[in-house]
């Protein structure tokens, strides 16, 4: 069974942050499904309504979304972890809280909240999302390597080692030099890098590759609307959003393979275009220990996990 930071997962399939994990009912759906764990919606300090609707569009081979970090706030997702403590140990799954601060210093404050004793006991891992592509006017931190270093430094400087281990969710990188740059940054926080950036707690425990590709645009064609025949599939940000689905799998695979080659000791979670057990096998071959399901989950609901397990049993 896959293991990250001494947390054992019953199987390799998780939901991707942002997919079927915003409300209590959705999180309970994940707990009672055949997923191997639960990843919360990427949360901010305070609840956010997010962007205007429609903000999600699904097609056969892709999705595009611009939710704008709609979430119920860190206290809600932290408290849900505490509620999970009542679930029998034989059925309780690892719970990962995804964090995506919008303002300067917000990530640090959110992580500090999750480390508070009243919450930390119900949270197995923290996933620091440095790669949200659909908050208007806010850049993706993961594309600024020094900003990434600064965020991680602040987070780990405040780590006393008693809270949940922490990993990062990264954007897709497209240049060979970018793979090396992000690996250099991350290695300094694993305890095995040469950058001299110390940490007092666990050190960086994993990385998730990749978040959706921003900023894409999809048109829907309406032949009955004359001059307005082409309309953007989603409303926010002039129709720009993060693209997921099978079309991005080659980028997910290349990012996992590249980071695994640079940091072979760092556990990786693969994400991007996984819709079958064979897709998951490819990510495993590239170096991922776990896989997150996004677009396929939004299309099929939590039954997608049962289908993936059935595909694996057929292969065996």
For 116-162, what is each residue's pLDDT tens digit? 999 999 999 999 999 987 676 778 999 999 999 999 999 998 887 78
Picking from 109, 248, 94, the residue whose alpha carbon sits closest to that of residue 165 is: 94
Given a cut of 60, whether residue 165 has pLDDT beyond it is yes
Contact in structure between 14 and 280 (CB atoms under 8 Å): no
Number of neighbouring beta carbons within 10 Å of residue 295: 29
Contact in structure between 298 and 55 (CB atoms under 8 Å): no
Mean pLDDT, range 74-88, rounded to an integer: 97
Contact in structure between 41 and 22 (CB atoms under 8 Å): yes
When pLDDT is cut at 50, 70 and 90, the band that residue 198 belongs to is: very low
Per-position b or e across 24-46, b if 16+ CB within 10 A of its CB: eebbbbbbebbbbbbbbbbbbbe
Burial (0-12, 13-18, 19+ Cβ within 10 Å), 222: exposed
Q: What is the mean pLDDT of the chain?
A: 93
Q: For the domain bounded by 3-50+68-214+245-315, which CATH number is listed?
A: 3.20.20.70
pLDDT of residue 161: 76
Given a cut of 70, whether residue 197 has pLDDT beyond it is no
pLDDT of residue 136: 67
Picking from 65, 72, 67, 96, the residue whose alpha carbon sits closest to that of residue 23 is: 72
Identified catalytic residue from 19, 132, 209, 271: 132
Given a cut of 50, whether residue 107 has pLDDT beyond it is yes
List 231's β-bridge partners, or say none.
Answer: 220
Mean pLDDT, range 214-243, rounded to an integer: 90
Given a cut of 90, whether residue 13 has pLDDT beyond it is yes
Higher pLDDT, 200 or 113: 113
Element of type H or E holding 179 = helix 176-187
pLDDT of residue 59: 97
Contact in structure between 43 and 96 (CB atoms under 8 Å): no
pLDDT of residue 313: 87
If you average pLDDT over each of 57-71, 131-145, 224-238, which comes out highest? 57-71
Mean pLDDT, range 20-40, rounded to an integer: 98
pLDDT of residue 25: 98
pLDDT of residue 142: 95
Given a cut of 60, whether residue 200 has pLDDT beyond it is no
Residue 132 among the catalytic residues: yes
Burial (0-12, 13-18, 19+ Cβ within 10 Å), 59: middle
SS3 56: strand
Element of type H or E holding 129 = strand 125-129
Residue 273 in tokens: 């275009």
pTM score over 0.85 = yes
- Percent of the chain with pLDDT strictly greater than 90: 85
Q: Distance between CA 219 and CA 239 in Å, rounded?
A: 8
Contact in structure between 214 and 242 (CB atoms under 8 Å): yes
Mean pLDDT, range 88-93, rounded to an integer: 94
pLDDT of residue 229: 84
Element of type H or E holding 243 = strand 240-244
Residue spans of the domains in the chain: they are 3-50+68-214+245-315
SS3 34: coil
In 134-227 the beta strands, taken as DSSP E runs, fall at 166-170, 204-209, 213-217, 219-221
| CA distances (Å), origin 9, targets 80, 90, 178, 271 | 19, 12, 31, 16
Residue 243 in tokens: 């693209």
Q: Distance between CA 310 and CA 235 in Å, rounded?
A: 37
pLDDT of residue 315: 66
What would the pLDDT profile of 265-310 be if each residue is shown by its tens digit? 999 999 999 999 999 999 999 999 999 999 999 999 999 999 999 9
């Amino acid at each position: 069974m896959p293991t990250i930071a001494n947390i054992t997962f019953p199987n390799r399939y998780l939901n991707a942050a942002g997919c079927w994990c915003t409300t209590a009912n959705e999180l309970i759906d994940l707990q009672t499904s055949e997923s191997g764990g639960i990843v919360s919606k990427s949360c901010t300090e305070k609840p956010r309504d997010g962007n205007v609707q429609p903000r999600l569009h699904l097609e056969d081979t892709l999705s595009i979304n611009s939710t704008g970090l709609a979430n119920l706030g860190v206290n809600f997702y932290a408290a849900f972890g505490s509620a999970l403590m009542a679930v029998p140990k034989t059925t309780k799954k690892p719970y990962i809280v995804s964090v995506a601060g919008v303002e300067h210093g917000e990530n640090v404050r959110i992580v500090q909240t999750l480390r508070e004793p009243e919450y930390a006991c119900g949270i197995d891992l923290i996933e620091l999302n440095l790669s949200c592509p659909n908050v208007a006017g806010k850049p993706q931190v993961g594309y600024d390597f020094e900003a990434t270093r600064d965020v991680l430094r602040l987070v780990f400087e405040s780590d006393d080692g008693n809270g949940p281990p922490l990993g990062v969710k990264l954007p897709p990188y497209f240049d060979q030099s970018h793979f090396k740059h992000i690996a250099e940054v991350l290695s300094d926080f694993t305890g095995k890098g040469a950058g001299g950036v110390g940490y007092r707690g666990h050190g960086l425990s994993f990385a998730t590759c990749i978040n959706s590709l921003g900023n894409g645009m999809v048109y829907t064609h309406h032949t009955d609307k004359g001059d307005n025949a082409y309309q953007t599939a989603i409303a926010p940000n002039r129709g720009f959003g993060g693209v997921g689905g099978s079309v991005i799998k080659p980028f997910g695979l290349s990012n996992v393979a590249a980071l695994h080659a640079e940091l072979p000791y760092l556990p990786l979670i693969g994400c991007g275009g996984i819709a079958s057990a064979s897709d998951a096998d490819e990510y495993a071959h590239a170096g991922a220990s776990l896989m997150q399901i996004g677009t396929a989950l939004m299309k099929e609901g939590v039954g997608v996990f049962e289908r993936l397990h059935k595909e694996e049993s057929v292969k065996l």
